[in-house]
Structures are given as C-alpha cells and as structure tokens.
Structure 1
Amino acid sequence: MNSEASSSKWADLAPRVLSAIAMAGIAISAIWIGGAVYQALIIVVIGLCMWEFGRLLNPTPTALPIVVGLAAAAGIFLSSFGPINAPNVILSPQIAALFVAPVMGAILASQHRVLFFSYGLLIMLAGLGFLSMGPGAALVWFILIIIISDVAGYFAGRMIGGKKFWPRVSPKKTWSGTIAGWVGALILGLIGMALGKFSVVDALAFPFIAFAGQMGDIVQSAIKRKVGVKDSSNLIPGHGGVLDRFDAMIGAAGALALLTGAGSLIFAG
C-alpha cells in the first residue's frame, strides 16, 4: 500500500474528530446547564433535521422544508410539557404533537410521501427519546454508546477491512467495523455494570442500541443515495448537515423511544 492510499484512507479522521469535539462541547454544556437550555437544543436539532429531510425529499424550492421544520420544533416543544401517562400514551397531546410534522410532510410533499411520514416520525420519536433521557446520566451513557460504537467501527473497518456490510447502500461499512461497534458497546455496558450503574440485562442491551444507531446511519445513507445527494445540507461547513451528524443518534433514540413506549403500553395492561 503506497503512502497516498494510506493517507487517503484516514483523510476524514481529522474532520470527524473536530466535529465530534465541537458537538460534544455543545452537548456537554447543554446537559450540564440542563432545563430550558437542554430543551432548546433538542428543539433546534430536531427542527433542523426535519428541515433538512424536507429539502432532501423535495429539492424544488418550496416552503415545505421550512414549514415541516417549524412544525417539528413546535411538536418537540409541546412534547416537553408534563409526564405522559402510559395508559393514554397514544391519545396524549404530547404524542399527538409528534405526528403533526410527518403528516404535514406526507400530505404536502410532491413525492416520497410514505418515506416522508415514516422517517419523519422516527426523527420526532428521537426527539421524544432525547427529552426522556436527559439531561442526566442516562443520556450521557447513551451518547457514549454511539461514540464508542462509531469509533470502534471506524478503526476496525479501516484496519481490518473485509466484507462489506451493505455495499449497495453504504459502500464503506464493513462487517468487521459493524461487529466492532457491537463489541465496543458491550464492553461499555460491562464497565457500567461493574461500576454498579446497570444490571446484566441493561449491559446486554447496549449492543442493540449500537445496532439501532448503525442502522440509523445506513437508513440515512440509503435516503441520500435514493435522492442522489451526498450531504443533507451544508450547515456545517465541510461536514454536511445536522442530519448527517445525528443520523446514528436519531436511529438509536427513535428505536429506544419506540421500544420503551411499546413496553409501557404492554406492562400497563
């Protein structure tokens, strides 16, 4: 392997590290301050994600992305008020607010209506998941799962290589990197268990959260490939958009919120 090939192999390491440090700084500050500051961060992030998603599926200049972005932000804002009673979770105003932006997008979009609703709802569920987890220790551990999984997968994929995980959708992802992400998450869970923070069941759930994050990344890659774009936007100079940076967390937080809600309904009788 020549030096040029070797350097290009790691060419995206510096941008990934710098963007991770910047996002970590913002996230840590919001978590530390908590309250309205943390809620405002989640509202802004979800609103921007939905705006970018609207632009991806409707590239022709319209007001749709702005409308669904504002609707998403408003939905997360309304969902932040008060506890959600499990027996009436589907009918609660907080949950109903999550459906407004996806439904609006599905109705007003000129194409990809089913995709707009389904992935749009996942974005909204992720927002609910972030509100439920934080600010607090649960959110910190959740972020660590995603970071450890991503870092382990990045280095294992480039150092070990091997068979591609899903070449048609994400040509760079390998099975070695995917499995390394699961192992990294499991090790983190075992560390948390050793510290007395989690039970065995909780620790064993860490790889599943990591997998949901990996699938969130892959699904977003598939969407971009479908519409023929590289980045969701250029909001982060040289690094794409907010949706590009939060796709794994959206997948993991959305799946976690969905599973937690389903479990609450089941155990509520």
Structure 2
Amino acid sequence: MRIPVPPLEVQCEIVRILDNFTLLSAELSAELSAELSAELSAELSAELSARQKQFEYYKNYLLKSYDRQDNACLKDIAEYSKDRIKANELNEDNYIGVDNLLQNKQGKVKSSYIPKEGNFTKYQEKDILIGNIRPYLKKIWFADNVGGTNGDVLAIRITDNNVIPEYLYFILSSDKFFNYDNSNSKGAKMPRGNKEAVMNYKFYLPSKDEQLKIVNKLNKFEIICNDISQGLPAEIEARQKQYEYYRDKLLAFKELKVDE
C-alpha cells in the first residue's frame, strides 16, 4: 500500500490539528457520560431552565395572539371527576397527591405515600390534574394513566368532544390561568384554590382544527426547548463529521510522479 509522506514539519502540523479536533470531540462526549462534573450539571440545569422559560414565553405569546375574546367557560366544556377508585387499585405510579406533583408545571414523580384503604377520586388518561393547595406553585399534570387522587388535587375532565385535551392542558398550564387561580385562592399560610372560580375561568376556544394547529406548534417547540438531549447528540455528530472532513482533506496529498 502506497501512502503519502510529506516533510516532517508538515506531518507535525497535521497531527497537531487532528489532535485538537479529537480533543474537542472527546470533551463533548465526556459531557454526556455518567460522570458529569458538578460544574457541567449546573450549566446544563441553567440551560434547561432558560429553554423552559423560552417555551413558556412563546406559549403565552401564542395563546395570547389567539385570545381575541373569552368565548368559552371551563364549566361548559369540562367538569371535576365524579368517579371513584379503591385504595387497593393504587400504587406509587398512579396515586397523585399534591406532594408528588412538581412545582412550575414539571409534572409529577412517584408517590412516597400510598393509601391502604378507602375510596378516592378517579382520574382517567388525558384528565388534567391541578394542585389545589398554594396554587402559586403551579402544580399541574396531564394524566397518561388511570389512577386516583384526593381532595387537594383537582381532576378536570373534558365533556365536550370539540375540545382537544392537549389544547385545554396548554390553556390551564399558562401563567394567565395560574395568576387567575391564585388571585381567587383563599387562606393565608396555606391558600387553597377556589374550585367554583376555577370552573368559571374563561378563555378563547377556537375551532378544533385551529386547536390542533396550536397544539402541534407548541409540542414541537416544547421538545426543542425542554429536551436538552436533542441538541447535544446532534452537536457531537456534527463535530465528528467535521473532524473526518478535515482529516481527509489534510491527508489527501497528490501522488508524486516517480521517474522511471
């Protein structure tokens, strides 16, 4: 196999350049390893927080642009769940208390407490669960299973087929709704949301097709803003391709003609 052998100083420069590219790729890969440093974790947390704020701003802006008039009232298209579920049907994944709902619209975690007996409010998939204690904490979850909850959590279920559940979730997870909910809460140390006032909340309800367009826009933007893993793997792949491109360019010497 014939290979090009440039002068020694050219070889050294090529090695230096490719080493730098290798180092950059290795550093970025290390950032995604299980042994993340505290500094990197803080940076990623800050980046994720910034992206979530960006998503909230865009969501509020988009919903506001459709807020031509408040032509729908929550009680006309939804109701609180009246169904009941037994304690023996509940587990850490499907029992929702206000304690395992996360602040600032971050969903929920597994419950550390599971009731042993009694009947509880049953929620269905695509119901919207809202923490009713200290509403300024903005606790809300879009249900993806069937389970139970208690009186400290509102389980809201759509009754109108013309409303897309995801659209209502975006409405009720907006800062506009939580500001309304908080302003109608009662109590000082442990304020509780007003269930009647919640059902009297008014908002703009467009056609089902328009709701779907809004939901699709927000879902795509939420993935970009909230899933930080979308960006870093793509960055690593781009760095690798960049490295390979320069490596091939640097090693592509014209063959020297050999006098016979």
TM bracket (short chain): under 0.3
Give 1 or 2 for the bigger CA radius of gyration.
2
**More contact order relative to length (CA 8 Å, sep ≥ 6):** 2
The structure with more strand, counted as a fraction of residues = 2
The structure with more helix, counted as a fraction of residues = 1
